[in-house]
């Protein structure tokens, strides 16, 4: 039986070790590529891999658990062990990670009055039920049981959020109760209240920061005394959001900081590889305005989104080589990029005439949010007849998130985003003539940071006012876009309206490629029924990564769901990303 201890330093079976780790999230990388990325991590000189565990994927719907495919964390951890890598697990209910709702499941918000990340009993009970199942999976992976997991983390950056010490104590005790035998740590910014409120008795405090490593360690040393210094998140890049700029870090500064950190303590590089926010799993920030993260989680990491070695990788490898012997790793596979060129649209389909093919309509007097209808992600459409309204002049949506396309008689009249949803809007008077109102609302990704998380119900959670009067009588269609096999392509998409665009093409040799979405407005892309993520013409991301395992030798299908009706006759596959 192995033993990992934290005293004045880290010890494995009585031998002092230096942890040189890289962050890499199994749920952001296709399983077919896990070994390739782990081999590159080991070749860098790292002896450890770190990963979060996303509650919202493993328990997507209450009581329904999934640890298969891209969610097979046991397989991922065992694969790391095969490569003689140690593993750090961060199974906190909340992970941040620029991930949808910080990893919390959407269905928590179905309950009125839900309070997050504190000793609120309904929230606590959900954690108990989740951890009971989760630890049956991860407990056997601990070093004490012959696995590679050397320690686990309690919560995540809690000091940035709250000061409920009883909550932190509860989580620590629950982890132990359900089988955690390895040491525990916390991670927070090493400053003032964040470090103070994020700690819990019996867990080593580690720090998260991206610059001035020596100075940060000096601060931490004064607070934790004669204990090992570790940067749990050494931020070597940053994430991008729609409408913002692409972030690139200062390589020279990061190299200097890495050297200082390794000279005095231990490090986890965040991120070694960022990967991809497939589907609707991007998170968002809110500091005065909504900033939803893009599909790529490239993060300016040591490996690109598709696993290519960068100059940053090579520079870090040289530094790490000063502190350990770099192993010789023979790559198990060769991964190629290819440009497949252009393909023309095969057929199209209108959204409005496919609603009953995609969803069972819900009749209700008033709008209902996604969560109340057991929907977590995607789009939701509210439809109503205006039999008593002669002319539409004003509209207001109450408690609506995040983006609404409004149509009258299936013609666009208004698009509202973020703070625009808080106000009443005057329209050029539109004659209704017993018309039909449709409101298509998109969940752009729940905020993953700050107290606004408790206000992240999506769709419309309040009334709709027309000409100052609350309007009743709605039909609601939930559109998670998980299954598009029932879309009827005999009803072509209308000009300037939401619709589906299908591309059928053949290839001889599947390889990694990048889908250029220039000429399109906003929406999502499914490759052979797999949702590879969102696109939006505002940038900065201009291409979507398509991993080779999603493609097939022979016939392939791409479906684009476009909400703005801004389309191109073709799509193009390139051999490198565009930013």
Determine the structural domain holding residue 234 and report its residue range.
4-320
Pairwise CA distance, residues 387 & 437, whole Å: 11
For 9-67, write each residue's pLDDT tens digit.
Answer: 999 999 999 999 999 999 999 999 999 999 999 999 999 999 999 999 999 999 999 99
Give the DSSP letter string of 7-72: SSSEEETTEE---EEEEE-GGGS-GGGHHHHHHHHHHHT--EEEEE--HHHHTSBTTB---SGGG-
Is the same domain home to 475 and 497? Answer: no
Q: What is 467-499 written as a DSSP string?
A: TTEE---EEEEEE--S--TT--TTSPPPTTS-E
Q: For residue 579, what pLDDT is reported?
A: 76
Q: Same domain, yes or no, for 405 and 263?
A: no
Residues 464 and 517 in one domain: no
Q: Is the pLDDT of residue 525 over 70?
A: yes
Q: Is residue 331 part of a domain?
A: no
**Which residue out of 233, 305, 442, 562 is catalytically annotated?**
233
Q: What is the mean pLDDT of residues 475-479?
A: 98
Residue with tokens 């929230």: 123
Same domain flag for 458 and 497 = no
Same-domain check for residues 498 and 473: no
- So what's the pLDDT on residue 390? 82
- pLDDT-derived band at 431 (thresholds 50, 70, 90) equals confident
- Residues 443-449, mean pLDDT to the nearest whole number: 97
pLDDT at position 227, please? 98
d(CA 139, CA 507): 43
Which residues neighbour 111 within 8 Å (Cβ) at sequence distance 6 or greater?
122
Mean pLDDT throughout 171-183? 98
- In this structure, the answer to whether residues 375 and 462 fall within a common structural domain is yes
Are 162 and 301 in the same domain?
Answer: yes
Active site includes 157? yes
Say what percent of the chain tops pLDDT 90: 95
How large is the average pLDDT for residues 382-391? Answer: 89
What band does 432 get if pLDDT is binned at 50, 70 and 90?
confident
Residue 330 lies in a domain: no
Q: Is 102 exposed, middle or buried (0-12, 13-18, 19+ CB in 10 A)?
A: buried
Q: Are residues 474 and 515 in the same domain?
A: no
pLDDT of residue 333: 83
Q: How many C-alpha atoms does 275 have within 13 Å on its Cβ side? A: 25
Q: CATH number for the domain including 415?
A: 2.60.120.260
Establish if 327 belongs to a structural domain. no
Same domain membership, residue 364 and residue 420 = yes
The answer to whether residue 194 sits within a structural domain is yes
- Is residue 487 a part of any domain in this protein? no
Of the residues 157, 273, 305, 442, which is catalytic? Answer: 157
Contact 189, 143 (CB under 8 A): no
Sheet holding 391-397: strands in order across?
425-431, 391-397, 464-466, 469-470
Better pLDDT: 434 or 80: 80
**Residues 340/568, Cβ–Cβ less than 8 Å:** no
Does some domain include residue 332? Answer: no
Structure confidence at residue 1 (pLDDT):
57
Is 514's pLDDT higher than 60? yes
**Calpha distance 129→426 (Å, rounded):** 48
Do 77 and 215 have their domain in common? Answer: yes
In this structure, the chain runs to a length of 579
Tokens at 457, concatenated: 């119900």
Comparing 297-301, 306-310, 331-335, 535-539, the range with the smallest average pLDDT is: 331-335
Euclidean distance between CA atoms 275 and 288, whole angstroms: 28
We report the CATH number of the domain holding residue 68 as: 3.20.20.80
End-of-domain residue from the set 479, 514, 540: 479
Indicate the SS3 state at residue 4.
Answer: strand
Q: Is the dihedral of CA 122, 478, 104, 138 positive or negative?
A: positive
pLDDT tens profile 180-212: 999 999 999 999 889 999 999 999 999 999 999
Q: Are residues 442 and 475 in the same domain?
A: yes
Contacts of residue 94, Cβ cutoff 8 Å, sequence gap at least 6: 102, 103, 104, 116, 117, 155, 156, 158, 161
pLDDT at 28: 98
CA distances from 47 to 38, 140, 312, 343, 460 (A): 10, 20, 18, 44, 48
In a domain, 154, yes or no: yes
426 tagged catalytic? no
Query: What's the pTM?
Result: 0.97
> Does 484 reside within a domain?
no
CA distance 100 to 445: 6
List residues bridging with 559 in a β-sheet: 502, 526
Give dist(CA 260, CA 280) in Å, integer: 38
With residue 255 as reference, give the H or E element that holds it. helix 251-264
Domain C-terminal end among 479, 506, 539: 479
Task: Count how many domains the chain has.
Answer: 3
User: Per-residue confidence at 159, pLDDT binned at 50, 70, 90?
Assistant: very high
pLDDT exceeds 80 at position 434: no
Mean per-residue pLDDT of the chain: 97
Residues 264 and 227 in one domain: yes
DSSP-derived secondary structure for 175-214: HHHTT--S-EEEEE-SSHHHHHHT--TTSEEEEEESS-HH
pLDDT band per the 50, 70, 90 thresholds, residue 388: confident
Q: Which domain-ending residue is among 455, 479, 503?
A: 479
């Amino acid at each position: 039986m192995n033993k990992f201890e934290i005293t004045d330093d880290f010890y494995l079976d009585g031998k002092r070790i230096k942890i040189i780790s890289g962050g890499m999230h199994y749920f952001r990388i296709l399983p077919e590529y896990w070994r390739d990325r782990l081999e590159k991590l080991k070749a860098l000189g790292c002896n450890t891999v770190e990963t979060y565990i996303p509650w919202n994927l493993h328990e997507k719907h209450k009581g329904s658990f999934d640890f298969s495919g891209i969610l097979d964390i046991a397989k991922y951890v065992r694969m790391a062990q095969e490569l003689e890598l140690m593993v750090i697990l961060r199974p906190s209910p909340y992970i941040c990670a620029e991930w949808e709702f910080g990893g919390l499941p959407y269905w928590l918000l179905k309950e009125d009055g839900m309070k997050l990340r504190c000793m609120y009993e309904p929230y606590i009970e959900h954690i108990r039920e989740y951890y009971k199942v989760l630890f049956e999976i991860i407990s056997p992976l601990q070093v004490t049981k012959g696995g590679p997991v050397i320690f686990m983390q309690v919560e995540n950056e809690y000091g940035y959020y709250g000061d409920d010490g009883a909550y932190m104590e509860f989580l620590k005790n629950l982890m132990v109760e359900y089988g955690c035998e390895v040491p525990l740590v916390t991670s927070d910014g090493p400053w003032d209240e964040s470090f103070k409120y994020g700690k819990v008795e019996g867990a080593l405090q580690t720090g998260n920061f991206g610059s001035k490593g020596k100075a940060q360690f000096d601060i931490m040393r004064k607070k934790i005394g004669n204990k090992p210094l570790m940067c749990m998140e050494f931020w070597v890049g940053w994430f991008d959001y729609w409408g913002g700029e692409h972030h690139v870090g200062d390589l020279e500064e990061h190299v200097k900081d890495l050297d200082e950190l390794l000279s005095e303590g231990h490090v986890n590089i965040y991120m070694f590889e960022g990967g991809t926010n497939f589907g609707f799993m991007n998170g968002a920030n809110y500091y005065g305005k909504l900033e939803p993260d893009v599909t790529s989680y490239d993060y300016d990491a040591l490996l690109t989104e598709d696993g290519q070695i960068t100059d940053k990788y090579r520079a870090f490898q040289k530094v790490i080589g000063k502190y350990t012997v770099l192993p010789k790793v023979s790559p198990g596979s060769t991964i190629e990029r290819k440009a497949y060129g252009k393909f023309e649209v095969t057929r199209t389909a209108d959204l409005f005439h496919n609603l009953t093919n995609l969803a069972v309509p819900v009749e209700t007097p008033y709008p209902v949010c996604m969560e109340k209808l057991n929907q977590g992600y995607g789009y939701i459409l509210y439809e109503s007849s205006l039999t008593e309204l002669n002319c539409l002049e004003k509209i207001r949506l109450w408690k609506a998130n995040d983006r609404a396309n409004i149509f009258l008689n299936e013609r666009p009249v208004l698009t509202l985003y973020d703070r625009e949803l808080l106000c009443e809007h005057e329209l050029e008077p539109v004659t209704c003539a017993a018309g039909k109102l449709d409101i298509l609302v998109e969940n752009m990704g729940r905020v993953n940071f700050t107290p606004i998380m408790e206000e992240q119900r999506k769709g419309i959670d309040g009334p709709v006012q027309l000409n100052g009067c609350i309007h009743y009588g709605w039909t609601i269609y939930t559109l998670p876009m998980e299954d598009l096999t029932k879309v009827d392509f005999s009803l072509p998409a209308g000009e300037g309206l939401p619709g589906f665009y299908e591309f059928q093409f053949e290839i001889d040799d599947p390889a990694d490629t990048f889908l250029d979405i220039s000429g399109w407005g906003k929406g999502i892309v499914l490759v052979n029924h797999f949702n590879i993520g969102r696109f939006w013409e505002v940038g900065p991301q201009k291409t979507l990564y398509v991993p080779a395992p999603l493609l097939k030798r022979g016939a392939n299908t791409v479906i684009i769901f476009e909400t703005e009706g801004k389309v191109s006759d073709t799509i193009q596959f390139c051999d490198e990303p565009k930013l």
